[in-house]
Structure 1
Amino acid sequence: MARIRQTDIEEVKARINIGDIVGERVALKTAGVGSLKGLCPFHDERSPSFHVRPQVGYYHCFGCGESGDVYSFLRAMDHLSFTEAVERLAARIGYQLHYEDGAAAPETSGRSRLYAAHTAAAEFYRSQLSSPDAQAARQFLGERGFDAGAAAHFGVGYAPQGWSALRDALRSQGFTDEELLTGGLVSKGQRGVYDRFRGRVVWPIRDVAGQTIGFGARRLYDDDQGPKYLNTPESPIYKKAQVLYGLDLAKKSISREHRVVVVEGYTDVMACHLAGVTGAIASCGTAFGSDHITVLRRVMGDSEGSSGEVVFTFDPDAAGQKAALRAFGDEKRFAAQTYVAVAPDGYDPCDLRLNRGDAAVRALVEAKAPMFEFVMDQRLSTFDLSTVEGRIGALRAAAPIVADIRDAALRPGYTRVLAGKLGLDLAEVQPEVERAARRSAAPAGPAERGRGETSPTTGGGVPGGGAPSTDSAPASVRVTLASLPPALELEKRALMGVLQYGHLLDKQAVDIALGLPMPHPALEAVRQAVSMQSDMTRPGWTSAAVDATREPYRTLAIELLTADFPAGTERIAQTTAMESLRKLRQRALEREKAELRSAQQRLEPGSPDFRSIGVAIRDLDLRLRQLMEAE
């Protein structure tokens, strides 16, 4: 396979803002000069420890230790090869890649081909919606309040009734049956290969970056013996447990407002967005679960202390109640507050908009109730409260819900509410709630403690890891900023300043400071790698410095590159970095002077060596004065 020229690889990376790429999947907030921060997409966490530095093109998680550039991020998120990652980003900015030995661009395979096939399929379905054969599809949409503009906005299309319309169209574009089968666009039976979706309204399902990865389709014709709704099967690019319909359109609203509305169907998502509730999403062919929560939390920036809201809309039937109880089981995975909104008369958002207008949809979301209150009512409804046995059973079922309310200030009030609903005295209800709270607070087992979190006392580049006890670290132990002694703060800040702002610093001052050995082997390894870089204005020089840092110290180099630098503006950062370099030189000169004085004291006063050292000390004094005057 032809290799992409290295110069093109560097050029594409230099033109791409890594903050834009990461920001499509993670809600990022400013965290200092040139630094962005959000919840890590590589592990589950409650407080953001994932840092992105667009200026140097790097990301690093101080929680799990994952780090890299824009290519490694895209490869990890979308499971691409290196070549596929470069080609996707090049296509994004319209950059023409060149291949070694003048070879033409290779015919890409695997995931890139599947993405391309789904993009072509989405366009095919869209074009078919205006065909005469699609009258039933247009009628279906129109009856639900969706005109041609709405269909175009959401990319809704139509799958023709024939057995091979899509297959023929995509094969004419060079796609093979094997690729279409792998992507779930066609199926294979005894009579051969045929279109998976036939005679249906089709919704494109996109990932958070806007790439089409699958489809959802609804039956239109009475003679169709297939299921009412049919989705793309699991494929290399479509994982239904992680896919949320509408997230590509909703992500900006979710990130900005820190609110997401979870609905149950494609038309509900459309209705909400058209009514102004632009943070609406839905799961695709599967129940809303823990993987969906992980995706949403990253897009929301759902961390401890945030004021986010997650609003679930459930149908008031048995299936909706079951879905609510299932969602409540995962509710604590959100840092945000969770709510339930149930429309009057059993309407879903699509029906509500159709019958009562856009304002009613917005009012539905605003009239939300806390999820714990909704679930408590559902639990109570299963008991006969007219009997003593029913009331006691209901109390035992509902007390754990009140005990688990995260806002402790609300628990006494809802204990009284529960007593009122049951017709019991508060003195009877409160002890049961307190017992439930004690059971809930019992120590978790090892398998549950810190689920999804990395231990702060083990390796993996986690802040809080123990400092190495010797001058050298075992090859399997990564040294991190947090593991270094506080006495090395100046050295850390100086290297951080050079790595992050080297292009703004005086080259002579940098060269002199980088010529001074560091007192710790990890910092010394980074210093050596950085000092090898002759041009700090060249794009990609920081990546070269990181790559040149020998293991097990590369993680430290990445952390120095991505950590928050103590400055409010770039000008202050430049000044602070230069001051750190000056102090390094000052300390080195003072150390040399102290060593000379110690040596001089052991000599006979007036001896040639005594006088020679005296000259050297006076020279050091002069250099120190010049250094201080240049401040």
Structure 2
Amino acid sequence: MAGRIVAEDIAAVKERTSIVDVVRDHVTLRNAGTGSMKGLCPFHDEKSPSFTVRESAGTYHCFGCGEGGDVVAFVQKVDGLTFVEAVERLAARLGMELRREEGGPSGESLGRRSRLVEAHRIAQELYADRLVNSPDARAARDFLRARDFTGADAARFGVGFSPRGGEELARLLRSRGFSEEEMALAGLVGRGARGSYDRFRGRLMWPIRDTSGDTIGFGARRIFDDDRIEAKYLNTTETTIYKKSQVLYGIDLAKKAISGGRRAVVVEGYTDVMAAHLSGVEAAVATCGTAFGVDHIKLLRRLMRDEPGLDPARIIFTFDGDAAGQKAAMKAFAEDQRWTAQSFVAVAADGMDPCDLRLRKGPEAVKHLVEDALPMFEFAVRTLIGRLDLTTAEGRVQAMKVAAPVINSIKDPSLRPEYERTVAGWIGVGVEQLADAVRRAGTLRPPEEPRRRDAEAAEPTADELAAALPMPNMRDPLVNAEAQLLQVFLQYPNVITGEMLDSIAPESWVAPAHRAVFDAVRSVVVTEGMTLAQWVQAVTTNAPLAAQPLVSALAVASLPVTLDPSSGLPEARYVASLVARVREVSITREIADSLSLIRRLSSDPDADPAQVRAVSMRLQDRQRALADLRERVS
């Protein structure tokens, strides 16, 4: 069995590794005097750089938060690795083989993270091979070709295809020495009543990598109509190496362009990232199944050197021109004060995303989309006042009220008078009127980050919990059904299957607190030998603080049905009816959205008939899905 790494090899790794090169994978550095480099600290949020690296000493130190050490310590801290894992990663970077002493510790000391990363590497190789060589992948290849992506393009971005059989990856990983627990912890394999199964089956796969290039997760697109999981996209569930709020798809390919040009382009999907890069916009990245948030800002700020005293960096968001796109843009604007960078919004005149734009109008159109982006401020104001009737006095007064805080939020005060004149013209009021409204208005503030509690801090009160996460209204029949399903999950985890969890969309939950508990359930893997008490404790630990009392309550509440005497579990029919009831919510919401859109299009004389047909077909599809769901549990 492998033992401790030979001390001479550890010393050689430190000696041969450039700490500046390693740090540059995470932070953009600039000269700061003889032998020193400086950048924004990756371990705390700061406006001015206090993170210093000295190549000759092989050390780093942050004068803001006090973090410091050698290159191994940096890798440990920034990537959440053990000492052994950090040395192994640096040795692999050098192409150096490590020697180990006999009789030392083994097994877990070799590092769980490196095992999970290796499992993802094997999975990516399998998926990439199947995209090229599997007859089943024809639909996936057709999908890419229809968007003008070649085989070489797919290889460049590591795109692959997950086998439809459902067990091929599990068998491969098992043959490579991975345990069932490791495969489950990686989020690649699930466990059901009939054994292990591949989490991703028959889908087009995009590898999600960190800044160092390690694959840590996947984004998977639905290709086949008979796919039992209806969600168009599935992402890897949260694992110890994959936190969706902290990763950006394409960052491994884009970081050099982001750092060199001090510009980042945030698009909405995997194919948009591919289209942008292939069109020459190599600073493009995308979020992975979540909204662009504070941790994404911190990551890009470090790479762009977004700091005072330098020419402003540029962050450009591309959004769809629909209501959802406008909502996403306004959320991004609410976070704008966290940047020194200048923010812009790029929306194609006809609402096309970068992938469609490249396909229909060519790569140059994608470049022009980015270069012609509007300042975020302008987009925000036009979006807000565009919802109002400016032909009435009431509408114009309301427009001044919503525009004034936006103007007050402009970072450079010297620009505000010019913007006041511009916006006054858009609204149709006098400059003095608007200026007065601006003086009386506040600013748009980004939401505060959660404050960390001291270890000795008092437990939150009931009022604090209620304010943070409203408790479910159990008089609502849907909410009551949600509670029963969560009771089943918490009290009888053996009935849970990966397919069951994957079939329930996050937006299906009516009560926010129930969604929080469900997210916690999904994040915990039932391991062999785990007791029920350990399971409930693990779910409690993974739930938000405000939802933890609810987990305890659901774990002990009585179910309103008798158990199957032969198995001691709730009857499968009862569980299936609860799952269906919860799933109905998201399908019903989609039906309502489609009906609303059809009504708006029907009243628009310029509406595109093709769009009306497409929405009608979508409505019929959702109605069939709802009828099928109800029939299965009737």
Per the normalisation by structure 1, the TM-score is 0.69
One-letter amino acid matched to 2:287 = S
The secondary structure found in structure 2 opposite 1:216 is strand
Compute the displacement of 1:305 (Å): 2.7
* Correspondence for 1:297: 301
* Alpha-carbon distance in structure 2 between the residues aligned to 1:449 and 1:4: 41
Compute the displacement of 1:96 (Å): 2.2
* Correspondence for 1:150: 153
* Alpha-carbon distance in structure 1 between the residues aligned to 2:166 and 2:9: 44
Compute the displacement of 1:171 (Å): 1.2
The secondary structure found in structure 2 opposite 1:37 is strand
* Alpha-carbon distance in structure 2 between the residues aligned to 1:65 and 1:308: 27
* Correspondence for 1:413: 418
* Alpha-carbon distance in structure 2 between the residues aligned to 1:330 and 1:220: 35
* Correspondence for 1:610: none
* Correspondence for 1:18: 19
One-letter amino acid matched to 1:195 = D
Does structure 2 conserve the Cα–Cα contact (< 8 Å) formed by 1:98 and 1:105?
no
Compute the displacement of 1:153 (Å): 0.4
Counterparts in 2 of 1:215 and 1:411: CA distance versus 1, 3 Å: same
Q: 1:36-51 counterparts in 2 under 5 A?
A: 36-51=37-52
One-letter amino acid matched to 1:371 = M
The secondary structure found in structure 2 opposite 1:338 is strand
Compute the displacement of 1:451 (Å): 9.7
* Alpha-carbon distance in structure 2 between the residues aligned to 1:356 and 1:169: 43
* Correspondence for 2:360: 355
One-letter amino acid matched to 1:250 = A
Does structure 1 conserve the Cα–Cα contact (< 8 Å) formed by 2:4 and 2:105?
no
The secondary structure found in structure 2 opposite 1:245 is coil
Q: 1:408-447 counterparts in 2 under 5 A?
A: 408-436=413-441, 439-440=442-443
* Correspondence for 2:318: 313
2:56 is aligned with 1:55: yes
Compute the displacement of 1:312 (Å): 0.2
* Correspondence for 1:235: 239
* Correspondence for 2:163: 160
Q: 1:271-420 counterparts in 2 under 5 A?
A: 271-306=275-310, 307-420=312-425
2:223 is aligned with 1:220: yes
2:244 is aligned with 1:262: no
* Correspondence for 1:92: 93
One-letter amino acid matched to 2:243 = K
* Correspondence for 1:123: 125
The secondary structure found in structure 2 opposite 1:405 is coil
* Correspondence for 2:112: 110
Compute the displacement of 1:191 (Å): 2.4
Does structure 2 conserve the Cα–Cα contact (< 8 Å) formed by 1:202 and 1:218?
yes
Q: Which is higher, the Rg of structure 1 or of structure 2?
A: 1
Does structure 1 conserve the Cα–Cα contact (< 8 Å) formed by 2:337 and 2:409?
no
* Alpha-carbon distance in structure 2 between the residues aligned to 1:146 and 1:342: 23
* Correspondence for 2:198: 195
Compute the displacement of 1:449 (Å): 12
Compute the displacement of 1:105 (Å): 7.7
The secondary structure found in structure 2 opposite 1:36 is strand
Does structure 1 conserve the Cα–Cα contact (< 8 Å) formed by 2:319 and 2:345?
yes
Does structure 2 conserve the Cα–Cα contact (< 8 Å) formed by 1:98 and 1:104?
no
* Correspondence for 2:82: 81
- Provide, for residues 171-204 of structure 1, a one-character-per-residue CA deviation record: whole Å limited to 9, x for no partner: 1111122111001001122322111111111000
* Alpha-carbon distance in structure 2 between the residues aligned to 1:427 and 1:212: 56
The secondary structure found in structure 1 opposite 2:161 is strand
* Correspondence for 1:33: 34
Q: 1:440-459 counterparts in 2 under 5 A?
A: 440=443
2:72 is aligned with 1:71: yes
Greater mean deviation of Cα atoms: 376-385 or 168-177:
168-177
* Alpha-carbon distance in structure 2 between the residues aligned to 1:87 and 1:387: 68
Counterparts in 2 of 1:427 and 1:106: CA distance versus 1, 3 Å: closer
The secondary structure found in structure 2 opposite 1:281 is strand
* Alpha-carbon distance in structure 1 between the residues aligned to 2:360 and 2:8: 59
* Correspondence for 2:175: 172
The secondary structure found in structure 2 opposite 1:123 is helix
Does structure 1 conserve the Cα–Cα contact (< 8 Å) formed by 2:406 and 2:444?
no
The secondary structure found in structure 1 opposite 2:96 is coil
Q: 1:516-531 counterparts in 2 under 5 A?
A: none
Q: CA RMSD in A?
A: 2.1
Compute the displacement of 1:296 (Å): 0.8
Greater mean deviation of Cα atoms: 143-152 or 93-102:
93-102
- Provide, for residues 424-483 of structure 1, a one-character-per-residue CA deviation record: whole Å limited to 9, x for no partner: 1112111111122xx4499x9xx979999xxxxxxxxxxxxxxxxxxxxxxxxxxxxxxx
Give percent identity, aligned residues only. 55
* Alpha-carbon distance in structure 2 between the residues aligned to 1:61 and 1:48: 9
* Correspondence for 2:548: none
One-letter amino acid matched to 1:141 = L
* Correspondence for 2:250: 246
Counterparts in 2 of 1:260 and 1:75: CA distance versus 1, 3 Å: same
Does structure 2 conserve the Cα–Cα contact (< 8 Å) formed by 1:118 and 1:212?
yes
Counterparts in 2 of 1:278 and 1:41: CA distance versus 1, 3 Å: same
Counterparts in 2 of 1:449 and 1:222: CA distance versus 1, 3 Å: closer
Does structure 1 conserve the Cα–Cα contact (< 8 Å) formed by 2:347 and 2:369?
yes
One-letter amino acid matched to 2:427 = L
The secondary structure found in structure 1 opposite 2:132 is coil
Does structure 1 conserve the Cα–Cα contact (< 8 Å) formed by 2:329 and 2:380?
yes
- Mind listing any 5+ residue stretches in structure 1 that lack a counterpart? 453-631
The secondary structure found in structure 1 opposite 2:216 is strand
2:121 is aligned with 1:138: no
Counterparts in 2 of 1:169 and 1:449: CA distance versus 1, 3 Å: closer
* Alpha-carbon distance in structure 2 between the residues aligned to 1:449 and 1:270: 32
* Alpha-carbon distance in structure 2 between the residues aligned to 1:245 and 1:431: 44
* Correspondence for 1:584: none
* Correspondence for 1:518: none
Does structure 2 conserve the Cα–Cα contact (< 8 Å) formed by 1:99 and 1:105?
no
Does structure 2 conserve the Cα–Cα contact (< 8 Å) formed by 1:274 and 1:358?
yes
The secondary structure found in structure 2 opposite 1:248 is helix
Does structure 1 conserve the Cα–Cα contact (< 8 Å) formed by 2:75 and 2:86?
yes
Counterparts in 2 of 1:58 and 1:48: CA distance versus 1, 3 Å: same
2:224 is aligned with 1:207: no
One-letter amino acid matched to 1:68 = G
Counterparts in 2 of 1:216 and 1:450: CA distance versus 1, 3 Å: closer
* Alpha-carbon distance in structure 2 between the residues aligned to 1:283 and 1:448: 21
The secondary structure found in structure 2 opposite 1:210 is coil
Counterparts in 2 of 1:441 and 1:157: CA distance versus 1, 3 Å: closer
Compute the displacement of 1:70 (Å): 0.8
Does structure 1 conserve the Cα–Cα contact (< 8 Å) formed by 2:249 and 2:287?
yes
Compute the displacement of 1:409 (Å): 2.2
* Alpha-carbon distance in structure 2 between the residues aligned to 1:157 and 1:186: 17
* Alpha-carbon distance in structure 2 between the residues aligned to 1:30 and 1:270: 33
The secondary structure found in structure 2 opposite 1:346 is coil
Higher relative contact order (CA 8 A, sep 6+): 1
- Provide, for residues 16-62 of structure 1, a one-character-per-residue CA deviation record: whole Å limited to 9, x for no partner: 11111110011111222221111000110111110111121100011
2:3 is aligned with 1:2: yes
Greater mean deviation of Cα atoms: 188-197 or 398-407:
188-197
* Alpha-carbon distance in structure 2 between the residues aligned to 1:251 and 1:10: 30
